[in-house]
Amino acid sequence: MPTFTSPVSVANFQVYLKDTSTDTTLLAFYQTLLNNATEAVYTWLDRDYTASASKTDIFWGDDTQFHAPRHQSTAFTSWTYTDLSGTLTNPGTSDLITRANGFLVQTKTHTFVSQAEHTLTYTQPSTLTCPEQVMRVITEIASIQFEQSNQGAGSLGLMVASSKDGVSDERERFLDLSQLHKDMLRPYKRYPV
Name the residue among 74, 72, 75, 67 with its Cα closest to residue 119.
67
- The pLDDT tens digits of the residues spanning 97-111 come to 999 988 999 999 889
Query: Is residue 27 one of the residues assigned to a domain?
Result: yes
**Burial level of 30, CB count in 10 A (0-12/13-18/19+)?**
buried
Q: Is there a single domain that holds both residue 148 and residue 179?
A: yes
How far is Cα 66 from Cα 78, in angstroms, rounded to an integer? Answer: 16
Q: With a cut of 70, say whether residue 18 has pLDDT above it.
A: yes
* Count of the separate structural domains present in the chain: 2
Per-residue pLDDT tens digits for 112-166: 999 999 999 999 999 999 999 999 999 999 998 888 876 544 444 444 445 555 5
Smallest Cα–Cα separation from 72: which of 50, 44, 95?
50
**Residue 109 belongs to some domain of the structure:** yes
> Is residue 29 assigned to a domain?
yes
Mean pLDDT of the region 24-42: 92
Boundary residue ending a domain (87, 105, 123): 123
- Look at residue 17 and tell me whether its pLDDT is greater than 60: yes
CB 97 within 8 A of CB 142: no
Q: What is the mean pLDDT of the chain?
A: 85
Sign of the Cα pseudo-torsion (56, 62, 63, 67, in order): negative
pLDDT 10s digits, 42-51: 988 988 899 9
* pLDDT score for 158: 44
Say if 4 falls within a structural domain: no
The yes-or-no verdict on residue 174 having pLDDT over 80 is no
**pTM score, whole prediction:** 0.73
Domain encompassing residue 109 = 54-123
Task: pLDDT band for 169, please (50, 70, 90 cuts).
Answer: low
Report yes or no on 157 lying in a domain. yes
Segment 77-100 mean pLDDT: 93
Q: Residue 85 phi/psi, 5° resolution?
A: -85, -5
